[in-house]
């Protein structure tokens, strides 16, 4: 039986941008308010899971040609790399630094190296969650 779920697909095309925006907001807001790398990564993987549910695996993997195991590995490399980057400046492992910079559009912004660590955490969460979901759905 051929099923044409056009309402679901059209709603998903709109909703997916809201979910991705919320994920990026949660990731960037983690320094001063609730949020952070873990929950940002979870919301991001929720968006991917919604795409995989509404469409099918081959279509989405053609549109998003990531190997999600490699995404998780890249995230772990980033998180450990910020730790080892502190050895360059002769300070203990995982020492984080911050500074105030004048960006052209945003004005004065506090930029920290914790953001890179949190980016690693978010990439690990996305890779692990999507890999688990795709591995479970294999046997059909």
Q: Is 85 in the site for other proteins (CB under 8 A)?
A: no
Q: Is 91 in the site for other proteins (CB under 8 A)?
A: no
Residue 78 DSSP class: H
Cβ neighbours, 10 Å, residue 117: 20
Q: Which is nearer to other proteins, 10 or 59 (CB)?
A: 59
The set of residues, in sequence order, having a beta carbon less than 8 Å from that of 135 and lying 6+ positions away, is none
Q: Using CB under 8 A, pick the residue from 20, 28, 38, 55 that binds other proteins.
A: 55
Q: Using CB under 8 A, pick the residue from 13, 59, 77, 93 that binds other proteins.
A: 59
For residue 18, the minimal CB distance to other proteins (Å) is: 8
Size of the site for other proteins (CB under 8 A): 29
Q: Is 24 in the site for other proteins (CB under 8 A)?
A: no
Q: How far is CA 134 from CA 29, 48, 93, 131, in A?
A: 29, 11, 35, 5
What is the rounded CA–CA span in Å between residue 40 and residue 73? 18
Beta strands in the chain (DSSP E): 98-103, 107-112
Q: Which is nearer to other proteins, 112 or 137 (CB)?
A: 137
Q: Is 20 in the site for other proteins (CB under 8 A)?
A: no
Q: How far, in whole angstroms, is CA 97 from its chain's centroid?
A: 23
Binding interface with other proteins (CB under 8 A): 2-4, 8, 15, 19, 22, 26, 29, 33-35, 39, 43, 46, 49-50, 52-59, 133-134, 137, 140
């Amino acid at each position: 039986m051929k099923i044409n779920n056009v309402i679901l697909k059209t709603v998903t095309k709109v909703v997916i941008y809201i979910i991705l925006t919320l994920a990026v907001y949660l990731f960037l807001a983690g320094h001063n308010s609730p949020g952070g790398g873990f929950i940002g990564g979870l919301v991001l993987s929720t968006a991917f899971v919604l795409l995989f549910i509404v469409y099918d695996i081959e279509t989405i993997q053609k549109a998003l040609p990531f190997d999600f195991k490699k995404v998780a590995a890249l995230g772990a490399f980033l998180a450990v790399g910020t730790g080892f980057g502190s050895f360059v400046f002769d300070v203990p492992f995982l020492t984080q630094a911050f500074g105030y910079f004048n960006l052209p559009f945003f004005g004065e912004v506090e930029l920290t190296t914790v953001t890179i660590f949190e980016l690693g955490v978010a990439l690990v969460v996305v890779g692990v969650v999507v890999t688990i979901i795709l591995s479970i759905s294999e046997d059909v």
